[in-house]
Amino acid sequence: MQTKPFRIGTRGSPLALAQAHETRDRLMAAHGLPAEMFEIVVLSTTGDRVTDRALAEIGGKGLFTLELEQQLASGDLDLAVHSSKDMPTALPDGLGIIAYLPREDMRDALIGRTAPKLLDLPEGAVVGSASLRRQALIRRLRPDLQVVTYRGAVETRLRKLAEGEVDATLLAVAGLKRLDREAVITEYLDLERFPPAPAQGAICIEARLDDRRVRDLVSPVNHRPTFDAVSCERAFLAALDGSCRTPIAGFAVSDGERLGFTGTILTPDGTVFHDIAAEGGVGDAFALGWSAGEAIREKAGTGFFDSW
């Protein structure tokens, strides 16, 4: 019987802490355990510490997971909680994603200061975003806008927006909901016109694959439709060798039996893009995403990726 608290690793941002607490609360409810049986361990990651440059310039997605995974592998943590879209497609040996919580809204949100909607922003307006996907999609829709790199925690970005540093910014609806900040949204961007990052809106739990005790603990909180959909999306990313250096969008929707997937790749300036759609059984989620990635790569041709 477990006598000491399970150690849950997380980054220290308000959003990361909200996600860790949601995970803890779900585990408590699933097993009837008291809060004292869980310890939330906050670690600072390289991605948190370096905020003056785009992630692509300093190493990509793994910068938000490295320190957590080191302590997970050593046994200092029992599990780690992440925003799924921050996870590299290749994980360290012995570690794996063992569960996803029910997915939140996967859309992007515009928070506009000089106009409420992306298409209504004044010509030449400045839009801040750290995401190459969002930057490319903005340029596809509004090539006249100035797009600047804009990083930091949610409240930092909102403060800089209020101070006039940019005219608008984009954030994930899911994160704003988890922080009870949905009221700041001035436009919900629809999935067809502005597709999300693969795995956006989903919280994942990473653990040692050989730790049966933790796998048994986490199994009841795994949301199978989210697991299937995000597995498909991450396979699409993996087939394209996707990282923070690549403008890639994609989302899957599961009804419990069938899975529908839509993917998009863009050049960073948004002028050239390719779309793909696929459908299959939920049991083929990974294969569906992987084949969609291979198909869109062939469709685009090798020259398309030179700008990446």
CA 7 – CA 98 distance, rounded (Å): 16
**Catalytic-role residue among 25, 52, 76, 86:** 86
Burial of 118 (0-12, 13-18, 19+ CB in 10 A): buried
One-letter amino acid at 40 equals I
Residue 181 φ/ψ region, left for φ over 0, alpha for ψ in the -120 to 50 degree band, beta for the rest: alpha
Contact at 8 Å (CB) between 105 and 217? no
Question: 144 catalytic, yes or no?
Answer: no
* Non-local CB neighbours of 118 within 8 Å, separated by 6+ positions: 110, 112, 138, 141, 142, 168, 187, 189, 194
Q: What share of the chain is helix, strand, coil (3-state, %, to 5)?
A: 40, 25, 35
3-state secondary structure of 105: coil
Q: Which residues of 279-293 are buried (b: 16+ CB within 10 A; e: fewer)?
A: ebebeebbebbbbbb
Report H helices in the chain: 14-31, 46-49, 55-58, 66-74, 132-141, 154-162, 173-178, 212-218, 224-239, 285-300
**DSSP conformation letters of 126-145:** EEE-S-HHHHHHHHHH-TTS
User: Which distant-in-sequence residues (6+ apart) come within 8 Å of 247 by Cβ?
Assistant: 132, 133, 135, 136, 137, 265, 266, 267, 268, 270
Positions annotated as catalytic residues are 86
